[in-house]
């Protein structure tokens, strides 16, 4: 496969032990080439509680690099920890913060989810286990979600005397509707992957396998369906949808028109038309 069809796999890996440097899985970003993929790992000390302050800073930096990497066409978020996608913020760390620090932390967390949502390429959350609180908010910030049928997810903040503060109150109703979103947030209920699929929270629900990565495997299949398509057209399609749902239909149609106009002069559009005429697969280059 050509280098233009690379995709990122963002691995959230939790390793027990003390941070002593990247070589021992501690505290840093680890990126290496694996065939046609970039593998990109964040290693975390605290089991289950992923969204620590230093992790946010690292992920902000990582997202900034992703945004401007022309080779990236799809981003897949997963966890290396069997049975967990992301269990949200570390409440022990939160308990050590004063009110002002909590407010600042949650604002950063909210900004992080916005940065994920603003990535120009499609993003997929592979939910093979628990996605709770901020973990589900992270999945909601992605374009697409794939879950194992046994995965558990929920905005459980009200059971802790909190409320969703990283986009959950806004993205969940846009995903499943206002009534269901209110019910899930008011009750703090956890649902499994099959329930999530039935209400439209995830795009696909798959039976879990022995390796515990069925959702990840399905997410990769989905990513590979996206990879051959024209990158600029896909980006413009995402932009038109994201901007359009925030406005009335007339304004949305205008946004679609502007996005379409940006795609007209691209070499990929010309290639697509030529390939159709010549009855051959197109070779898109992202230009």
What are 240-258's pLDDT values in tens digits? 999 999 999 999 999 999 9
Residue 104, pLDDT score: 83
Q: Compute the C-alpha angle 147/148/154, nearest 5°.
A: 60
Among 25, 41, 88, 134, the active-site one is: 134
Q: Is 89 considered catalytic here?
A: yes
Residue 10, pLDDT score: 58
Residue 143, pLDDT score: 97
Q: Is 137 considered catalytic here?
A: yes
Residue 8, pLDDT score: 53
Among 25, 133, 137, 166, the active-site one is: 137
| CATH of the domain spanning 231-278, picked from 3.50.50.60, 1.10.12.10, 3.30.300.30, 1.10.10.10 | 1.10.12.10
Q: Which residues contact 139 (CB under 8 A, 6 or more apart)?
A: 77, 85, 86, 125, 127, 131, 145, 153
Residue 86, beta-bridge partner list: 131
In sign, the C-alpha dihedral spanning 182, 185, 186, 189 is: positive
DSSP-derived pairing of the beta strands 75-79 and 7-14: parallel
User: Model-level pTM?
Assistant: 0.83
Size (the chain), residues = 287
Q: Which 3 state secondary structure label does DSSP give 89? A: strand
Residue 23, pLDDT score: 29
CATH 1.10.12.10 domain residues, the chain: 231-278
Q: Which residues of the chain have pLDDT under 50?
A: 1-6, 13-49
Which CATH superfamily includes the segment(s) 3-226? 2-enoyl-CoA Hydratase; Chain A, domain 1 (3.90.226.10)
In sign, the C-alpha dihedral spanning 236, 242, 246, 248 is: positive
Residue 24, pLDDT score: 29
Q: Is 181 considered catalytic here?
A: no
Q: Is 161 considered catalytic here?
A: no
Residue 54, pLDDT score: 66
Among 80, 141, 147, 157, the active-site one is: 157
CATH 3.90.226.10 domain residues, the chain: 3-226
Exposure string of 195-218, with b = 16+ CB inside 10 Å and e = fewer, is bbbeeebbbbbbebeeebbbbbbb
Nearest one of 97, 99, 199, 201 to 145, comparing CA atoms: 201
């Amino acid at each position: 496969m050509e280098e233009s069809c690379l995709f990122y796999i963002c691995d959230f890996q939790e390793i027990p032990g003390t941070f002593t440097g990247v070589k021992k899985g501690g505290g840093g970003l680890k990126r290496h080439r694996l065939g046609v993929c970039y593998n990109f790992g964040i290693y975390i000390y605290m089991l289950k509680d992923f969204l620590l302050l230093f992790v946010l800073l690292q992920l902000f930096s990582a997202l900034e690099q992703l945004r401007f990497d022309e080779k990236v066409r799809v981003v897949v978020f997963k966890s290396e920890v069997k049975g967990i996608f992301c269990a949200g913020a570390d409440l022990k760390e939160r308990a050590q913060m004063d009110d002002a620090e909590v407010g600042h932390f949650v604002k950063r967390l909210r900004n992080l989810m916005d940065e994920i949502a603003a990535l120009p390429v499609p993003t997929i959350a592979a939910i093979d286990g628990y996605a709770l609180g901020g973990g589900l908010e992270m999945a909601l910030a992605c374009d697409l979600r794939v879950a194992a049928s046994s995965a558990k997810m929920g905005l459980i903040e009200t059971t802790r005397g909190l409320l969703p503060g990283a986009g959950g109150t806004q993205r969940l109703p846009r995903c499943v509707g206002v009534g269901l979103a209110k019910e899930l947030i008011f009750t703090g209920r956890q649902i499994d992957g099959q329930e999530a699929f039935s209400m439209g929270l995830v795009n696909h629900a798959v039976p879990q396998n022995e390796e515990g990565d069925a959702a990840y495997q399905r997410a990769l299949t989905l990513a590979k369906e996206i990879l051959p398509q024209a990158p600029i057209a896909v980006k413009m399609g995402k932009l038109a949808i994201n901007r359009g749902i925030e406005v009335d239909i007339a304004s949305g149609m205008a946004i679609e028109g502007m996005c379409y106009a940006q795609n007209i002069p691209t070499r990929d559009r010309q290639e697509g038309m030529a390939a159709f005429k010549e009855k051959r697969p197109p070779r898109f280059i992202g230009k």
